Structure 1
Amino acid sequence: MQSIVVYCASSLGVNPIYNEVAVELGEKMAANGIRLIYGGGGFGLMGNVANAVLQSGGEVTGVIPNFLADLEVAHNTLTELHFVETMHERKFKMVQLSKGVIALPGGYGTLDELFEILAWRQLKLYDGPIAIVNINGFYDLMLQQLDRTVADGFLKAENRALLLVANSVDEVLKLIGEFWEGV
């Protein structure tokens, strides 16, 4: 595996466990020779994942729209930083550069990215694995809602299964690796 997109918050949240997991993910990606592809910001969980990869000797590619470069303060010490015009270009460029997607906790932006890539996977526009790290039960209610969409006939069970669920960094990296071994 060469690179993974990580979707996560541009803030830290209130529970320190989220940041601990972000840093752990960054460290383990670097240790396993996995390049981080992410939104290019320098703050919050996203900035700390990037910093952990870099401090552990790994490589990081950021992709940030010009209008967000000032708002999210583009990280200026990355291995590579791409500036794009729109959010759509950002999301497309990020997955073009990756072999998988991992989502950590986050808000609207993280959920938007996660659901869009799941829709792309369902439509066969993207073929990589998509996983969440459900640390501290952060995604429990979302997973219940997805199960409800299956039960109520709005989502096929095989499409629900496109979302891999892990409870730790080690587990998510294992799931992503196993996906590619099985292809």
Structure 2
Amino acid sequence: MATIASNVIQFTPRATEPEAIFNEYIEGAKTLPIIAKSQIVWNDQKWNLKGLAKPERPTIKPTVRFPDLSPKFLEFIKAYVAWNVYNDFGQNKQIFKYSAPVRNAKYVQAAMEQHGINHPCDLNPDVLDHAVSLITGREISAEQNRGKIGWFIDVLIEHEMQNDPYEWTPLKQTVSTEKNKSRIRDETSHKS
């Protein structure tokens, strides 16, 4: 079910079972007015958000490309984007707000496959910690990596779409102090 709050439709589940709430979230997203009135075709692998989001560069269309995910997870990620675009309507946010969580969903998908999980409602902290460890790129903290997948994980938690309820924060990582030393000389380093 959707309710109107300050000119925005907020997702409010009627169901109480996690998978039923999950399905309501997806079906509610498919019926949002923005889906019907925009260039979004639900079943497409990429959505053109022209007029709904700012592009990364002026010469590129603001597009969200969905990775190869399991059908249920893909539907959830599309619903996540649809609800966020709708709730941000008129604010013209950067496309990165929508494309970054979508891009990083592949790490959660990989962790789900490695743990034998087929449905996002069955995610648990061990799988999410594993997903964080799969994130590539420059060395950054666990908290920053959590942010890369936390956007849509928070939706699962907020709306109680977990078969086994949990709270999740990433594992703490330690960083060598050698890498964090200041490049500014101390008072004695210039004296010989």
What is the TM-score with the length of structure 1 in the denominator?
A: 0.32
Q: Which has the higher contact order (CA 8 A, sep 6+)?
A: 1
Structure showing greater radius of gyration is 2
